[in-house]
Each structure stands twice: as C-alpha cells, then as structure tokens.
Chains A and B, each alone.
Chain A
Amino acid sequence: MTFTFNGVAQILVFFALLLLLTKPLGLYLVAVFEKKNTWFEPVFRPVERAIYWACGVDERREQGWKAYTIGMLLFEGAGLLLLYLIERIQSALPLNPAGQTNVDPLLSWNTAASFTTNTNWQNYSGETTMSYLTQMVGLASHNFTSAAVGIVLAVAVVRGLTRRSVQHLGNFWVDLTRCTLYLLIPICLVYALFLVWQGVPDNFSGYIQVTSLEGFKQLIPQGPVASQEAIKMLGTNGGGFFNANSAYPYENPTPFSNLIEMLSIFAIPAGLVYFFGKLTGDTKQGWAIFSAMAILFLVGAFIALGAEQAGNPQLTALGVNQSANEWALAQPGGNMEGKEMRFGIGSSTLFATVTTDASCGAINSWLDSYTPIGGMIPLVNMELGEIVYGGVGSGLYGMLVFAILAVFIAGLMVGRTPEYLGKKIEQYEMKMASLAILILPAFALSFTALGLVTQPGLAAIANGGPHGLTEVLYAYSSMVENNGSAFAGLGTTTIGNPSFVFYNWTGAFVMLIGRFAFVIPIMALAGSLGKKNVVPAGAGTFPTNGALFTGLLIGVIIIVGALTFFPAYALGPIVEHLQMINGISH
C-alpha cells in the first residue's frame, strides 16, 4: 500500500463536496415526490398533465404495492421491446452517418435487457455498432427511464416504511413522470452543457478524418455524446457512448469533468438517503444510514488507492519507475496500465470505487489491468449489494433491507420482537428480506460456477491463472447487481462464437433477475410494512438513529458479504496478489 498526499486529498475533498450536495438534493426530492411546487412547474406542469391525460391516469389516485409493481413491470417490458426494435431496424432509420448495420438479434436482446435494467453491460463497442439514432432514442432514453424507475421504487419503499396503516404507496405513473420531468431533465440540461464546455461533443456530423502532422490518418467518431453522457452518470447507468467509456477523452475530457461525473453518480443516491430521513420525520435516521455508507465508501476508496499507487512489482523488476515523485509533479507513478494520464492513479481509483459502490458501471480505467487488490475493491463493492449510496433508488432500497436484517439480528440478541421505524418486523417481512438478500449472490455465484465449468464460458477468459476466475466472477457479479462495469478482457463480443452466445443469453437472464426478482420481494415487504401501524418507542426499543445502529449495520453487511463471497476471493484476487508479489506470472 502506498498513499500519496494528493490521492488522499482527492478522496477527502470529493467526500466533502458530496456532503454539501446531500441535503439540498434530498430536500428537492421531497418537493418532487411529495408534490410540493418546484421551480419548473410553469414549464413542465402542462406536459405532466398531458401525459396523465394520454395515459388515462388519475393523478390523485394512488396504488397499492401490487399495482405499483405490475405497472412498473409493464412499463419496463414495453421499453425493452421498443429498444429491441430500434436496434434491429437501425439501418433503415435516419441519423446513421457511419452506416452501422442492424444489430445482431442476440446482441440486441442482451443490450435491451441491459439498458432496461439500469445495468448497461455492453457486449459491443458503441462507435462501431450503434447509429446516432439508436444511441439517442434507444439508449439515452433508457438511461432516463431505468434511472427514474429505480428512484420511484425507492420512493415507494420509503413510503411503505414511513406511512401508517395504509394500502397505497403512491402512483407509479405520477412518480415516474415527475421524476423524469422535475428531477432528471433539468439537472441533465445544465450538466450536458457543462460537459460540452469541457470538450464533450454533441453533433450529428459524420466521423471526422484528420491527417496528423506526420501524415497519419485518423478517423474520429462524433455524435450526440454530451446529452447521453449526462444521464449516463446521473442515472447511475454507465453505458458508454464509446467503447472506452469515461476513459475516452470525448466522454470525460478533463479532471474537472471527471470530478463532476463522480459526484453526479453519488448525488441522487445520497440525496435519497436524506429524503428517507426527512420522510421518517427524524433526519438522524437518514444520517445513520448515510454514515454506514460513508464508512464503507471511504475504506474501499483508500484501499483501492493504496493498491494501485503501489504499482505492479513485476514491472518494477523490469526497470520501470512507478514511484509517484509527488513533489516534483513529474509523474503519478503507480500501475498506469489501462489508465489515462489526466486521471493518474487518484482520479482513476476514486472513480472505480464510486462507480461500483453505486450501480453505475461507467469506467475511466480498465479494471482488468488493476492490481489484484485494487481490482478486488470494485468486485467487493458490487457484491456487498451496491448499497454504498448505490444505484439511483436501488441503493437505498437494498440498504433498507440490510437495515431490517440488522434490527432483526439485534432483536434476536435481546430476545425482543424487532422493530424498524416503529414497525414490527415479523415473519413475512423477514422472509421477503431474506429472499431479496439471497437472490443476488445465489445467481452471481451459481452462474460464475457455470461459466467456469463450461467450454464457452472458459473460452472467453483473456488472462490466465486466478485472474481468469476473477474475470468470470466479476462479469456475473456485475450483471446480477446491475452494475455493468467489467473485467473487460473477457471475450464476449465476437458475434456468433460460442462464448458470445453463452454470455449474451445468460447475461440477459441474470440482469433481468437481478433487477426484478430483487425488487418484487422488496415491494411486497414495503406493502406489508405500509399496512402496519406504529408501535410507540419504549425503553426496550433499539434506536436506529445513532452510531450503535450504524456499526451494527456495517457489521451485518460485511458478515453477509464475506460469508458469501470469501471463498471466491480466496481463489481469485487474493491468490493472484500473492503470486504477483512473488514474481509469478501466467
């Protein structure tokens, strides 16, 4: 582990900025979802009404958890089909200056599932596969809707926890529309223009051919990048316009844009935690959960920084200088394979930590080339359930399930019926919470095992030794958790070969499971809790708004995560680390 003063400063300043953003965004979320006036009513209120009218929806009528969930599923289903269709006929549609052909059927299906579930796993390279129209109408719009769906599900779950003796959790159509119009679009408009200012292009021109001073020709792709980049980060989607994602200078041109991209990943998830506290009537409830997230985030960020800054001893042995040379400002040092110069180590490892703590999955450096421990942090972040701020919405509802598990365990310790926010946690709630917690690791691990014992699964592995195991484990963890980042050496992109078929089919399946099979039990849980009345707090009530609860919550998360995944880590990154420091290569 090696730490530079600057690397540490980057993490701390970033965290301070996040803290500043949390409360204002949380309060704004309250305005959006509790239907208070926002600044944008004069512009968007007529649009909002028109949508309800066209949908035949009465905006004052709320729904129970079943109607809310079924509405969500139907909406996602319709969007998935529309995206599939656009991909399949893109060559016949306008805005295709690079002449992209129709997308392969299986790849279209995988991509449709991927963008619908907010995963944005990409078995293709954007600049060689998708037309501008597909990027814009197909992919960018899914970045919005999948983010909005995640957010409104979290809002419904919070309502279930905080309302008393009610059937209704809100109206899905109203929440969805308001989230898109009042939250996502206004922020993205400003954000996209900021990105353009920094250098992100936004145009419909064809790819530009330049001839360098030495006479080399280079074809530079263009497109409506900035508008998609904004929602890609803000909605924790992560699907890059270009193959190199946020490492590509056109997606992330400067350290400034990189900072804002990282902040925008965490902004809404952190704001939602404050929103939760506000709705419980005790903001300390929110801050207790926020603190647990903050600690898990900071620990991960520091370990990733230390591991990558230390560099690869096998390269040092060849005579490469990986020391930071910090005070001369001459070079960042560290493990620079697969990293960009403008980001160096600090801005790369912080980005990698943030993108996997949340379910974003955008990358600004290739995780496959990280040192074993540096690359293990993103893996662990995802496998803990992406609850460290987490995906927009999914992070909060995932964390609340852990909160329920934590009070249950505390209840077992003192022999008392557990309560959370005054609601009794009983058999049904525990069944649903356990189901939600177990579904993700069960699918991640069993499909990793499948990948490791079948020929098409193994054939895709790019790096030998334990690193290969990590590639497959990372892939299924990322897809099940709806992250979308990758140990991208894994060869899943050659259309037609057996690995392509294997990973596209299994991938689409586990992404859908990871999104919907996870959220349905949680919605059932929210519906059940909403019906309960509140028990007044007594002397034996375990307080969930203080440091003791924060500590217990972290303990529960780590125990569940470690018990589930430690054997896999031991076979992958941990053994690889030992091999790396002992000079073994494959």
Chain B
Amino acid sequence: MSASRPARRASTSRSRETAATSKAVTSPETADKTATETTTDTSQQPDLQEREPFWRMSLRLLRPAIVATLALTLITGIIYPLVVMGLAQAIFPSQANGSIIYVNGKPVASSLIGEYWTQARYFHGRPSATLPGPYNAANSGGSNLGPTNSALKMTVKQRIAALRKENPDVPPGTPIPVDLVTASASGVDPDISVAGAYYQIPRVAKARHLSQAVVTQIVNAHIQGRFLGVFGEPRVNVVELNMALDAYSQQHAQSSHTSLAAEQDAPQAMKFPQSAAEE
C-alpha cells in the first residue's frame, strides 16, 4: 500500500540519524536509567529526529495529521453527538425537544424561553433588546449598552414612565425593581424577580377582577428558589405564572365557590383546552 511507504522511509532515516547523533545526545537507554519513575517504560524508543530536515519531518507527519483529523472528526463530530442525542431522546424526551408546553395540542411556549406580554391581565417579562422585535428567540442578544451610555439612561427613563403608566395602582414611592427596566442578556429571559412580580400584582388583579391576596398566593406558589439555597436567584417564571392565572380564572368562572385550594390544581388545569389563545 502506498500509505505505508512514508512510514518506512521515515524509519530508515531515523535509524541513520540516531547513529549520527549518538555522540551528541545521551542514548535513550542511559536516559531511562537515570530517569525518574515518571518517564515512560524502557521498551520505548524515542524518535530522535532532531537533525531531520524540516521539510522531511513535515512530509512524514502529514499522513497522521490528515488521518487523525478525519478520524477525530468522525468520532467527536458525528458518533459522539448522535450517541448523546439517542440517549437524550430516550431518557429526557421533553427537555431534549425544547421543553415545549402544548395547550390543546398546539405549542404555546417553551417553559424556558420568555415570551412578549402586553395585556394588563398577564404578568409582563423583562425588557428585551432583540431585533427586529422583542423576545425574538431566533436572534437572541442583549442591548450591549455601556453603563455611561446616554442611550441607556434614556431607555431606562422611558421604561420607568411606561411601567408607572401601566401600573397606576402601585402606591407612589414604591421602588422600581431593577429587572423590570433593564434588558436581559438573552432577550428571552423567562423569569422576573419576586419584587418584579409583586409590582405588577395590583394591575393583574384589577384586570382579572380578583383580589390582590389571591394573585399574591398564585405568585408565591410559583417562586423558584436558589439551587442548594446558594446559587442563582429566587425568581418567577412568567409563562408558567400566566398559565396558572388563566387556569385559576377559568375555574373561578366555572364555580363561584372556588376556594384558594383550587390553585393547587392549577398546573393540571393548564392542560385543559380553555385559554386566551382561542380569543
């Protein structure tokens, strides 16, 4: 085979050079005797090609370079990802397919990807700087506005004004939670802070004709804590919260005797076909 030729040529040149350089360098056998236990075992023959011309060495190493590239691309770029995908689809099918939430067989959201909300009856997520519109999951990103950029100041000022206008029932002087007026990193942040949710409770309760206490209870039921009590931040997933609210309103409309206990069933209830999407 032609492929074996360069290797043979290399081995003859190698032995010649070993002989030529044996005076100049310590021979491998003595080297191994003096070596610490960390050196490799004595059967190894070092490849003494210090004097081998650059071009010949390169030529000799070309075959392994090309073959190793192809072999490792096959293993790491095709076999490995396919094995991962097979296992992922078998063990965690929901997550592996994007954690999509279906209502009535139709995909309404991914529980991990934030959506754009405008109606008063829903909790709103964080500002999004994606282009061309907010919450564009297929073109993620942040604003990249620097801390001393006047555009940042102006944008935040506008957001504060809009937030106050949307939430007229918030007592004046209530501090504005920073997450409600700053753009997220991904542009599709699914969460808001607990303070950010509380800030919107008066508006949502009014729009749904519910008491603030009821909405507060639903919000509290959706607070996710830190991992191990240490990592990350407490937060509320906006999509899941809004679906739970719809489910609660739906049940509440069906039976006027709905007690607060009904919200325990909220996650199940969201699977029922009734939803605002049908409007």
Considering the complex, give the chain A residue whose CB is closest to the CB of B78. A137
Other-chain contact of B64, A9, A71, A218, A259 (Cβ < 8 Å): A71
Write out the residue numbers on chain A whose beta carbons fall within 8 Å of the beta carbon of B65: 71, 74-75, 77-78
- Is A165 part of the binding interface, using a Cβ–Cβ cutoff of 8 Å? yes
Closest 7 CB pairs of A and B: A255-B232, A141-B77, A321-B175, A344-B233, A489-B144, A247-B185, A168-B46
Interface pair A166/B46, CB less than 8 Å apart: yes
Identify which of B33-41, B209-217, B254-262 touches chain A.
B33-41
Write out the residue numbers on chain A whose beta carbons fall within 8 Å of the beta carbon of B183: 337-338
- Residues A249 and B138 in contact in the complex (CB < 8 Å), given A369-B147, A489-B145: no
CB distance from A572 to the nearest CB of B (A): 11
- Residues A364 and B68 in contact in the complex (CB < 8 Å), given A188-B80, A214-B117: no
- Residues A585 and B179 in contact in the complex (CB < 8 Å), given A189-B83, A227-B85, A347-B233: no
Report the bound CA distance from A370 to B185 in whole Å.
Answer: 11
Interface pair A54/B71, CB less than 8 Å apart: yes
Write out the residue numbers on chain B whose beta carbons fall within 8 Å of the beta carbon of A6: 226, 230
Write out the residue numbers on chain A whose beta carbons fall within 8 Å of the beta carbon of B251: none
- Is A250 part of the binding interface, using a Cβ–Cβ cutoff of 8 Å? yes
Interface pair A585/B150, CB less than 8 Å apart: yes
Write out the residue numbers on chain B whose beta carbons fall within 8 Å of the beta carbon of A13: 228, 230-231
- Residues A66 and B144 in contact in the complex (CB < 8 Å), given A141-B73, A331-B195: no
Write out the residue numbers on chain B whose beta carbons fall within 8 Å of the beta carbon of A55: 63-64, 67-68, 71
Considering the complex, give the chain B residue whose CB is closest to the CB of A373. B147
Interface pair A586/B40, CB less than 8 Å apart: no
Report the bound CA distance from A141 to B80 in whole Å.
Answer: 9
CB distance from B140 to the nearest CB of A (A): 4
CB distance from A424 to the nearest CB of B (A): 16
Report the bound CA distance from A347 to B92 in whole Å.
Answer: 26
Write out the residue numbers on chain A whose beta carbons fall within 8 Å of the beta carbon of B235: 341-342
Cβ < 8 Å to A, chain B residues 9-51: 25-26, 28, 30-31, 34-40, 43-50
Interface pair A318/B68, CB less than 8 Å apart: no
- Is A51 part of the binding interface, using a Cβ–Cβ cutoff of 8 Å? yes
- Residues A193 and B31 in contact in the complex (CB < 8 Å), given A347-B233, A369-B146, A580-B148: no
- Residues A136 and B78 in contact in the complex (CB < 8 Å), given A166-B31, A202-B96, A579-B148: yes
How many chain B residues touch A (CB < 8 A): the figure is 137
Report the bound CA distance from A163 to B99 in whole Å.
Answer: 52
Interface pair A199/B95, CB less than 8 Å apart: yes
Taking Cβ atoms with an 8 Å cutoff, the residues of B that contact A are 3-4, 6-7, 25-26, 28, 30-31, 34-40, 43-50, 52, 54, 57-58, 61-73, 75-78, 80-81, 83-85, 87-89, 91-92, 95-100, 106-119, 122, 126, 135-150, 152-153, 156-157, 160, 175-179, 181-196, 198, 225-228, 230-235, 242-243, 246, 275-277, 279
Interface pair B115/A138, CB less than 8 Å apart: no
Considering the complex, give the chain B residue whose CB is closest to the CB of A464. B149
- Residues A144 and B76 in contact in the complex (CB < 8 Å), given A55-B67, A193-B91, A253-B112: yes
Report the bound CA distance from A114 to B227 in whole Å.
Answer: 34
- Is A438 part of the binding interface, using a Cβ–Cβ cutoff of 8 Å? no
- Residues A75 and B68 in contact in the complex (CB < 8 Å), given A63-B47, A364-B185: yes
CB distance from A87 to the nearest CB of B (A): 13
Report the bound CA distance from A315 to B153 in whole Å.
Answer: 7
Write out the residue numbers on chain B whose beta carbons fall within 8 Å of the beta carbon of A138: 77
Write out the residue numbers on chain B whose beta carbons fall within 8 Å of the beta carbon of A54: 67, 71
Write out the residue numbers on chain A whose beta carbons fall within 8 Å of the beta carbon of B111: 199
- Is A434 part of the binding interface, using a Cβ–Cβ cutoff of 8 Å? no
Report the bound CA distance from A467 to B149 in whole Å.
Answer: 9
